[in-house]
């Protein structure tokens, strides 16, 4: 028989995203494309225009009297609990009753016959409040005595005091790391349709349908089995739809059940950006001791984060920042602490990398500090500090997990060679030495990223497969499709399991009706978890078919095997759909629910010890930039990437994820600046004021390769590795290259200490600062 490559869509084949053609042609349906039933109403949020205040009253009479308005919802209209906190801390009301915590906080919702009517009416409210002092950044909030939003974490190993005492050199510093808006193409949206009794169906754009289900039930005061949440696809998520949709789903559902009519809520881009959380800003104070070779002896760091008014996911985000504050480097003696600081801003939330990128940036800053202090190439310092391979004493992380699968040395060696790093760096140093307005920089940076939810219970998934009696296959799983190709990959796993063409499999919407208690599609774990769950379901059905085939032909089960679009039973070859029809007629059960939970992981947060990650993904990027020292403007000339995805499920999709992640990471560190004014207002709240990378910002030369020799040592789905978040961190190569270019104006003797985002303004200020310091020297 033919081999498995004759199946269209087996794993490791680069087949297109299953919705690609529909998306290009505008035929892919999103929540806002669902046909609205007669009587559909539209909601819009009324928000605060102060950053912090004691709320006295809200006069909504003009709002209720506005044309087209059907109702106005306040906290008094919530039949259940007025809270949508994802961690159960009960600190995030749907609508506040006593205090306003940030500028733009939703205070009520208008429900009207049209969205425009609701939007206009929301501006007519009169809010009476006592304005209070506010703080929008973690340092001023700490100085004002504001509390933490959740318990901090400490990771400690070795003896930091003796480590610093024995170090020949020591550097301390502070780095301010900016946040980032998700800027998904499809904004937040929820569409609730009331049913009989307590029932309600909510169509929404969320990465976490089960959480939306539970939050809606919580707010309505009904059991979760009364709420159905459906998600066919999202137009991007990046973490911004893991918990932030709770508010919108709750408002739509409460309005729909109160009025007995379908209700849709879709904020405009400005309100979406002001009322939803972002990537956490961090202020990192670091202290690093090292020897003459650049090898680190001790590290201490405090990671203070702008968390916003409530906890949201700030606890696990700030935890993961500490988990990745080592990046790929061994710290013999280390003490890391988090400070999840409350601020009078929107509550920050998950974003691709989930705090990990902020931790890695801090690690790379320390490497950079060491390199400038010793006059070395930062790559030399990086190599000197790489983790071992689990067989030596340089393989233990600050959280006491042993790094057993380390391939970063090979990744970096291969990229250094393929990118011609050494020759290019030498040429750049020589060119910069001539002076001139334009200066170049180059950097090669690594990444080691832990894969698993640090909340251990989220590392589980379910799937449901039906094989219909014509041989067609229906696939449903608990993951959500946000453009990353998860559905395509999981369908490839099922196609290969049954040895049938990909086209035979129908991928259906994610719904809480089919797979319960799902985890968020986050933490880069979508394919790992849902692929294994789907494989489990497929294997159950295959086992029944094998038993039936063996019994019906009088052969042993070992004589039955699945071959491309057929089943071989002894010497007989039967078409897959023929065998399925026979099995149905013989009353063989052709449906199965699959389940998977990640093995080996455990975590004791109080002790700061455990194995929170199943495995690590690795990668490296080499970027070259050129800056204009008169204006601070710059461009990325070339980027080379080598990334480890294990045995890729779909190389084309994985390469696309690496490319997109790099550009998004580069944007976070260069152009995407969040800015609040003195009144606590977010002023970068639209594409006109918030600058994501354009197509013209991509590197002029962009070479991306997957490490095709890699194979996951752990038993993941087809020995693949996660790809969603780790390559985001590769954008740090651009920041480090900018730093080198800036440092050239002072002959590389001073670390520029660029804060992020390294906008042209910050680059120019750094150039001027180094020139001034050089002149004084």
Residues 506 and 287: their CA atoms lie apart, in Å, by 55
Which residue do the tokens 């202090």 mark?
A: 373
Number of CB atoms found within 10 A of residue 165's CB: 13
CA 308 to CA 103: how far, in whole Å? 11
Whether 123 and 44 have beta carbons less than 8 Å apart is answered as: no
**725 part of the active site:** yes
φ/ψ (deg, to 5) at 424: -70, -40
CA distances from 751 to 649, 740, 742, 748 (A): 42, 9, 9, 7
DSSP letters spanning 188-204: --EEEEE-STT-EEEEE
| Active-site residue identified among 101, 242, 481, 725 | 725
C-alpha distances out from residue 146 to 91, 181, 281, 552, Å: 15, 24, 17, 73
Q: Token pair for residue 175?
A: 């780095």
- Report the distance separating Cα 668 and Cα 658, nearest Å: 15
Distance CA 529, CA 638 (A): 35
Q: How far is CA 742 from the centre of its chain?
A: 31
Long-range contacts of 686-695 (CB under 8 A, 24+ apart): 686/269, 686/270, 686/273, 687/183, 687/269, 690/181, 690/183, 690/273, 691/667, 692/183, 692/667, 693/663, 693/664, 693/666, 693/667
Q: How far apart (Å, rounded) are the C-alpha atoms in residues 472 and 465? A: 11
Q: What contacts 422, CB < 8 A, 6 or more positions away?
A: 416
Over 332-348, what HEC string results? CCEEEEEEEEECCCCCC
Backbone angles phi, psi at 766, to 5 degrees: -65, -40
- Where would I find the beta strands (DSSP E) of 343-468? 438-451, 460-467
Q: Which residues are catalytic?
A: 725
């Amino acid at each position: 028989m033919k081999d498995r490559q004759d199946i269209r869509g087996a794993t490791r084949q680069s087949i297109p995203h299953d919705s690609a053609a529909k998306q290009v042609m505008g035929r892919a349906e999103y929540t806002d494309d669902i046909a609205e039933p007669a009587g559909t109403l539209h909601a819009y949020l009324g928000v605060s225009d102060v950053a912090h205040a004691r709320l006295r009253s809200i006069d909504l009479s003009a709002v209720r009297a506005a044309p087209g308005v059907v109702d106005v919802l306040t906290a008094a209209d919530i039949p259940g609990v007025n809270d949508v906190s994802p961690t159960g801390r009960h600190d995030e009301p749907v609508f506040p009753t006593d205090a306003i915590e940030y500028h733009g906080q939703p205070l009520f919702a208008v429900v009207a016959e049209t969205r425009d009517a609701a939007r206009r009416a929301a501006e007519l409210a009169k809010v009476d409040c006592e304005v209070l002092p506010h703080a929008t950044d973690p340092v001023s909030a700490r100085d004002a005595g504001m509390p933490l939003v959740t318990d901090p974490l400490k990771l400690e190993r070795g003896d930091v005091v003796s480590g610093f005492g024995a170090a020949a050199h020591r550097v301390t510093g502070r780095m301010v790391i900016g946040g980032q808006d998700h800027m998904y193409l499809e904004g937040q949206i929820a569409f609730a349709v009331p049913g009989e009794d307590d029932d309600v169906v909510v169509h929404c754009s969320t990465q976490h349908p089960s959480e939306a289900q539970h939050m809606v039930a919580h707010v309505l005061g009904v059991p979760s089995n009364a709420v159905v949440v459906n998600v066919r696809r999202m137009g991007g998520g990046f973490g911004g739809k893991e918990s932030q949709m709770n508010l919108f789903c709750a408002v739509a559902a409460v309005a729909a059940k109160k009025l007995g009519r379908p209700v849709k809520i879709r904020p405009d881009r400005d309100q979406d950006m002001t009322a939803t959380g972002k990537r956490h800003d961090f202020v990192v104070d670091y202290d690093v001791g090292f020897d003459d070779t650049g090898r680190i002896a001790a590290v201490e760091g405090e990671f203070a984060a702008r968390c916003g008014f409530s906890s949201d996911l700030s606890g696990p985000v700030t935890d993961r920042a500490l988990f990745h504050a080592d990046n790929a480097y061994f710290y013999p003696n280390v003490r890391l602490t988090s400070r999840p600081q409350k601020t009078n801003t929107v509550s920050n939330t998950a974003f691709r990398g989930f705090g990990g990128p902020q931790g890695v940036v801090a690690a790379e800053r320390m490497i950079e500090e060491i390199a400038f202090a010793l006059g070395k190439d930062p790559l030399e310092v990086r190599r000197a500090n790489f983790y071992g391979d689990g067989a030596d004493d340089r393989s233990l992380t600050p959280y006491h997990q042993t790094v057993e699968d380390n391939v970063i040395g090979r990744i970096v060696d291969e990229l250094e060679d393929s990118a011609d790093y050494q020759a290019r760096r030498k040429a750049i140093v020589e060119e910069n030495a001539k002076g001139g307005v334009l200066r170049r920089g180059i950097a090669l940076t690594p990444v080691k990223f832990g894969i698993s939810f640090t909340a251990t219970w989220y590392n589980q998934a379910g799937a449901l497969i039906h094989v219909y009696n014509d041989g067609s296959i229906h696939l449903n799983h608990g993951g959500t499709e946000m453009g990353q190709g998860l559905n395509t990959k999981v369908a490839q796993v099922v196609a290969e399991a049954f040895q049938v063409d990909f086209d035979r499999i129908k991928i259906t919407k994610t719904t809480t009706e089919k797979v319960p208690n799902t985890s968020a599609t986050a933490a880069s774990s979508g394919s790992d978890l849902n692929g294994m769950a789907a494989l489990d379901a497929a294997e159950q059905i295959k086992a029944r078919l094998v038993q039936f085939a063996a019994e019906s032909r009088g052969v042993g089960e070992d004589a039955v095997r699945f071959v491309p679009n057929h089943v071989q039973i002894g010497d007989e070859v039967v078409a897959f759909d023929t065998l399925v029809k026979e099995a149905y007629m013989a009353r063989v059960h052709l449906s199965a629910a699959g389940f998977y939970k990640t093995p080996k992981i455990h975590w004791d947060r109080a002790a700061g010890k455990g194995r929170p990650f199943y495995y690590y993904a690795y990668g490296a990027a080499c970027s070259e930039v050129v800056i204009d020292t008169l204006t601070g403007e710059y461009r990325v000339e070339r980027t080379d990437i080598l990334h480890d995805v294990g045995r890729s499920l779909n190389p084309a999709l994985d390469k696309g994820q690496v490319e997109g992640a790099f550009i998004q990471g580069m944007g976070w560190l260069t152009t995407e600046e969040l800015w609040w004014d003195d009144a606590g207002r977010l002023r970068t709240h639209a594409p006109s004021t918030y600058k994501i990378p354009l197509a013209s910002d991509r590197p002029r030369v962009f070479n991306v390769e997957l490490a095709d020799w890699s194979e996951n040592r752990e038993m993941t789905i087809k020995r693949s590795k996660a790809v969603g978040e780790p390559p985001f961190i590769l954008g740090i190569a651009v920041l480090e290259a900018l730093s080198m270019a800036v440092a050239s104006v002072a002959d590389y003797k001073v670390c520029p200490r660029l804060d992020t985002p390294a906008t042209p303004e910050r680059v120019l200020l750094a150039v001027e600062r180094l020139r001034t310091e050089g002149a004084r020297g």
